[in-house]
A and B are shown apart, each in its own frame.
Chain A
């Protein structure tokens, strides 16, 4: 099993450009998440999808949109990138969002720089 995969690994954008970060998991998990990691701030939840067909805002959703394409795939879109969105983005998945079986499994991350 590949676990959680993310593409691309690195990306440089100019302010105002758009892009989509891709995430896929092969563990048959119901729930998927997007986080951003900034120095000294830990991980902050951007959006999550408790199950196929549902998405919900997390702690820092402004400037982002998501699509749960199917059970395997959960994409994150930046419509108009800003320098404040320079960060490392992690996708994660878990069996469920609730209950004891919700430890999350993380992808390798995407390093995004917005100039």
Chain B
């Protein structure tokens, strides 16, 4: 079964500094990888996905993620964090062989003014 790990519970970063949220995955086949963001009292919003091709994926709100097959990682990045980026971020993976999307436990990002 596929799974993802988000090793940090909370990421604190100063406004204007680079932001990185880590994700590693485990699948038996080729992975489809996703990042979602959840603002307080809201549903999850899709940020970006990796299906195939270029290892650097660009998404919404200035976020990007780098797929690294050898390290089985899909870290989310933003060059310059904003206070409005403070939210809960979820990594998810789907094995191309089945229909289920496995979510990580989420990372709380706090951007300090």
Chain A residues at the B interface, C-beta cutoff of 8 Å: 4, 31, 40-45, 48, 50, 56, 58-59, 90, 92, 97-98, 100, 102-109
Instruction: Write out the residue numbers on chain A whose beta carbons fall within 8 Å of the beta carbon of B42.
Output: 108-109
Instruction: Write out the residue numbers on chain B whose beta carbons fall within 8 Å of the beta carbon of A106.
Output: 36, 43-45
How far, in Å, is B27 (CB) from chain A's closest CB?
14
Interface residues on B, range: 20 to 34
How far, in Å, is B12 (CB) from chain A's closest CB?
18
Nearest 3 A-B pairs (CB), nearest first? A106-B43, A97-B99, A42-B105
For B45, B52, B105, the residue with the greatest tally of chain A CB atoms inside 10 Å of its CB is B105
Chain B residue at smallest Cβ distance from A4: B43
Q: How far is the CA of A2 from the CA of B1 in the complex (A)?
A: 34
Using A43-B90, A102-B32 as known contacts, list a sample of 13 further A-B pairs with CB atoms less than 8 Å apart, ordered by residue number in A: A43-B44, A44-B103, A45-B100, A45-B101, A48-B100, A56-B99, A59-B100, A100-B32, A100-B49, A106-B43, A108-B43, A109-B41, A109-B43
Instruction: Write out the residue numbers on chain A whose beta carbons fall within 8 Å of the beta carbon of B101.
Output: 45, 102, 104
